[in-house]
Amino acid sequence: MARTVIAGNWKMNKTIGEAVAFASNLREVLADRHDLPEIIISPPFTALHAVSAVISGSAISLAAQNIHEADKGAFTGEISGGMLREAGCNLVIIGHSERRVLFGEKNERINKKLFAALGAGLNPIFCIGETLREREENRMKEVIGEQLKEGLNNLNDNDIERILIAYEPVWAIGTGKTATPAQAQEMHLFIRNWIAGRYGKELSEETVILYGGSVTPQNIALLMSQPDINGALVGGASLDVGSFVRIAEYKSNQGV
């Protein structure tokens, strides 16, 4: 059985000061809350180092939002896995749909980034998802299958053990439209079966598959009641400590 994880993706939000205030508040609220799932936050690059100092020694993990596939060199504006490790990250989000759509990242590049992250000692949160058009054309499984096949190309069992997958239908991100629990479950099961076909049943059952796209304290409990949803990657609702914690408390928060 896969563990449960609630991850916040802050995107391009929060100054260093705001990020530090959020992290100290979150640390305080979560102290001694051993009943909650694993918690990950992902501030923008500029705030990573400062936030890592604030959460050091706590149960909160730190993820970056992107990585460059090279170790170092002439790549103006880019950040390597080694740099992210040094800044205190233990995870990195790779292949978010905003990176795919707005910055032209393709599956092949995403595969290189996954290798770079694993090589640098970072656990990837590998994002996949179909667009509205692909869903309307009923091509979502074909698209997700291709993203998995090309994204995970040449990754072995040890690698897959370290990867969290985030299924985020592009049409549900930041739109207020959540996939219904049944729609999400159908895709999560498809993803788990795909992993089972490639890496075996045992590994597939341990793989954390997060749902992302307009997750809120109101809809999390129903999503989490689905057998193949192991947590959430939360954007907008992760920017406020109160709503982020209410999402993590989904077991006691039945849609409040």
Residues annotated as catalytic are: 96, 168
Rounded Cα distance between 192 and 190, Å, is: 6
Apex 195 CA angle, 216 and 124, nearest 5? 55
Choices 12-20, 28-36, 115-123, 235-243; region in contact with ligand PGA by CB under 6 A = 235-243
For position 215 contacting ligand PGA by CB under 6 A, the verdict is yes
Rounded to whole angstroms, the Cα distance separating 213 from 140 reads: 15
Provide the mask over 168-197, with x wherever binding to ligand PGA is found by CB under 6 A and - wherever it is not. Answer: x----xx-----------------------
Residue 134 has, within 13 A of its CA and on its CB side, a CA count of: 16
Q: Does 134 bind ligand PGA (CB under 6 A)?
A: no
- C-alpha–C-alpha distance, residues 197 and 59, integer Å: 33
Place of tokens 């060199």: 73
Kindly tell me which residue out of 44, 213, 217, 231 binds ligand PGA, with binding defined by CB under 6 A. Answer: 213
Query: Contact between 155 and ligand PGA (CB under 6 A)?
Result: no
Nearer to ligand PGA, 88 or 236 (CB): 236
The CA distance from 56 to 20, in Å, is 12
Stretch near ligand PGA under the rule CB under 6 A, chosen from 101-109, 146-154, 212-220, 248-256: 212-220
Cβ of residue 200: shortest distance to ligand PGA, in angstroms?
Answer: 29
The single residue listed with the structure tokens 């994880």 is 5
Q: Is 236 in the site for ligand PGA (CB under 6 A)?
A: yes
Phi, psi (degrees; rounded to nearest 5) at 252: -100, 0
Q: Is the dihedral of CA 204, 62, 29, 242 positive or negative?
A: negative
Torsion sign, CA atoms 149, 154, 159, 162: negative
Per CB under 6 A, does 230 bind ligand PGA? no
Binding status of residue 214 toward ligand PGA by CB under 6 A:
yes
Q: Which stretch binds ligand PGA (CB under 6 A): 27-35, 65-73, 201-209, 227-235?
A: 227-235
Catalog residues that contact ligand PGA under the rule CB under 6 A: 9, 168, 173-174, 212-215, 233-237
